């Protein structure tokens, strides 16, 4: 269970980083 939680948290962190990057690039384009 601990591994699953860790993996889930890691995926969420990656998703947030990706979202922030996409938002920054979108703002730069506009």
For the chain, the structural domain boundaries read 1-30
* Alpha-carbon gap, residue 6 to 24, rounded angstroms: 27
* Alpha-carbon gap, residue 12 to 19, rounded angstroms: 10
Is residue 27 predicted with pLDDT exceeding 90?
Answer: no
Residue 17, pLDDT score: 93
Residue 2, pLDDT score: 87
* Alpha-carbon gap, residue 6 to 14, rounded angstroms: 12
Per residue in 1-24, pLDDT tens?
889 888 888 888 999 999 999 999
Q: How confident is the model at residue 29 (pLDDT cuts 50, 70, 90)?
A: confident
Residue 1, pLDDT score: 80
- Give the chain as a 3 state SS string: CHHHHHHHHHHHHHHHHHHHHHHHHHHHHC
Residue 23, pLDDT score: 92
């Amino acid at each position: 269970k601990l591994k699953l939680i860790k993996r889930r948290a890691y995926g969420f962190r990656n998703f947030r980083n990706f979202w922030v990057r996409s938002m920054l690039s979108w703002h730069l384009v506009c």
